[in-house]
Amino acid sequence: MKLPWWMGKIEFWIGVAVVGLFTYAHYTDPPRKPEPRAAKPKEAPAELSDFSRVLTAQREVGRLLKDPESARFGDTYVSRRGGVPVVCGTVNARNSFGGMSGSQRFISNAGMSALEEQVEDGGFNDVWRKMC
């Protein structure tokens, strides 16, 4: 028995309708609201590591020098003798004449740095003994 010519087309159109209905149902879902997240408690700023303190101090001391690129840092460490962490160390850099000026001590803490040659009247030695 031979099927009529339109019988194959009906099945095709039924298939197209079913696929269309599924597609319509899928894309017309109402958008879902995101789940509210619990607010994270703000963390206290982390304490700087000694390594970070030393790098910051070296950058700040470099700004005080005539030729920061020539700076050669010697013994540099973080001291807590005065109750506050300070970076103590030595630095040698080129002077105005282009020669190395010789090793000198420095103290640095929280954006304030001092070179031994910049402090007069032995005040640097007093601070060095107390802090470093």
| Per-residue pLDDT tens over the stretch 25-63 | 666 666 677 777 766 665 545 567 888 889 988 988 888
Q: How far apart are CA 3 and CA 10, in angstroms?
A: 12
More confident residue, 74 or 7: 74
What are 100's two structure tokens? 């190395």
Contact 116, 105 (CB under 8 A): yes
Q: Is residue 14 in some structural domain?
A: no
Nearest 5°: phi and psi at 54?
-65, -45
Q: Is residue 21 in some structural domain?
A: no
More confident residue, 110 or 28: 110
Q: Is residue 112 in some structural domain?
A: yes
Q: Is residue 68 in some structural domain?
A: yes
Q: Residue 127: which domain range?
A: 50-131
Q: Is residue 89 in some structural domain?
A: yes
Helix (H, G, I), strand (E, B) or coil at 71: coil
Reported pTM: 0.61
Q: Is residue 119 in some structural domain?
A: yes
Q: How far apart are CA 24 and CA 81, in angstroms?
A: 74
pLDDT value of position 89: 93
Residue 50 makes CB contacts below 8 A (sequence gap 6+) with 77, 78, 85
Helix (H) or strand (E) holding 37: none
More confident residue, 24 or 50: 50
For range 60-86, the mean pLDDT: 88
Beta bridge partners of 87: 78, 108
Q: Residue 88: pLDDT above 90?
A: yes
User: Into how many domains does the chain fold?
Assistant: 1
More confident residue, 94 or 35: 94
Q: Is residue 109 in some structural domain?
A: yes
Nearest 5°: phi and psi at 23?
-65, -45
Helix (H, G, I), strand (E, B) or coil at 88: strand
Q: Is residue 122 in some structural domain?
A: yes
With pLDDT > 70 as the criterion, what percentage of the chain qualifies? Answer: 69
For range 22-27, the mean pLDDT: 68
For range 98-104, the mean pLDDT: 82
pLDDT value of position 78: 92
Q: How far apart are CA 62 and CA 59, in angstroms?
A: 5
